[in-house]
């Protein structure tokens, strides 16, 4: 089964009780600079009032950059995505951000401090506890980020990365399998087709998955 897209806490115990620390990101208060794919979720035992702002604390509404979180992403507790607006000026004699304490300069300042690349997280990524995603990082589809990793730059599809700075530890699958998975793009299928494909997905049955392609 797939969770109800409108349910902000879709994980249920056998007795029907919701698990309040698991947030489905399409079911929570949305952020104008963040796009979230279906069935992406995050975990946080702190029960934040605004989970998207908690995950991306420096991304303010109307900022010059955006954050994209792909469908079926899994974001563990303590993950922080540091977007480009967190940067300080580095060309002057000081990095102190005087402008953020001046209401007349605050908004325009965000557009002045260097380039503002977007941050992109592909489909079906698993980001481990306390990982840090740096400004402008681009994670391909199916990426696994180990706990505590500091990720920057481009991470290839289906890579496992870890460390500070994060490095590719290994690829999850051989190149031909990765190419097939990217071509199948099961995360874009209709819900009924995904439900039918769950056994093949869980068993890593790529031929079976391909046979179910709608």
Q: Which residues are catalytic?
A: 88
CA dihedral 117, 123, 124, 127 (to 10 degrees): 10
CA distance 51 to 154: 25
Coil vs helix vs strand at 67? strand
Q: Where are the beta strands (DSSP E) in the chain?
A: 22-24, 34-36, 41-43, 67-69, 74-75, 80-81, 119-121, 126-127, 132-133, 138-139, 144-145, 150-151, 154-155, 159-162, 167-171
CA dist 29 → 20, 26, 169 (Å) = 15, 8, 35
The C-alpha angle 61, 65, 66, rounded to 5 degrees, equals 75
Which residue blocks in 47-102 are alpha helix, DSSP H? 51-55
CB 115, CB 99: distance < 8 Å: no
Residue by residue, DSSP assigns 124-154 as T-EE-TT-EEPTT-EE-TT-EE-TT-EE-SE
């Amino acid at each position: 089964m797939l969770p109800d897209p409108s349910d902000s806490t879709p994980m249920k115990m056998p007795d029907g009780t919701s698990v309040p620390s698991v947030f489905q990101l399409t079911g929570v208060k949305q952020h104008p600079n963040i796009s979230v794919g279906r069935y992406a979720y995050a975990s946080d035992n702190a029960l934040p009032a605004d989970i998207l702002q908690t995950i991306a604390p420096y991304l303010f509404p109307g900022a010059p950059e955006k954050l994209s979180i792909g469908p079926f992403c899994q974001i563990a507790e303590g993950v922080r995505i540091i977007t480009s607006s967190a940067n300080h000026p580095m060309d002057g004699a000081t990095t102190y951000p005087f402008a953020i304490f001046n209401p007349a300069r605050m908004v325009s300042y965000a557009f002045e401090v260097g380039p503002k690349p977007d941050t992109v997280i592909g489909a079906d990524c698993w980001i481990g506890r306390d990982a840090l995603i740096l400004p402008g990082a681009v994670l391909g589809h199916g990426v696994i980020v180990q706990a505590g990793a500091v990720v920057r730059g481009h991470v290839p599809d289906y890579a496992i990365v870890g460390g500070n700075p994060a490095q590719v530890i290994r690829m999850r699958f051989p190149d031909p399998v990765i190419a097939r998975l990217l071509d199948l793009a099961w995360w874009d299928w209709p819900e009924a087709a995904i439900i039918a494909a769950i056994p093949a997905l869980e068993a890593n049955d790529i031929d079976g998955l391909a046979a179910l392609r709608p």
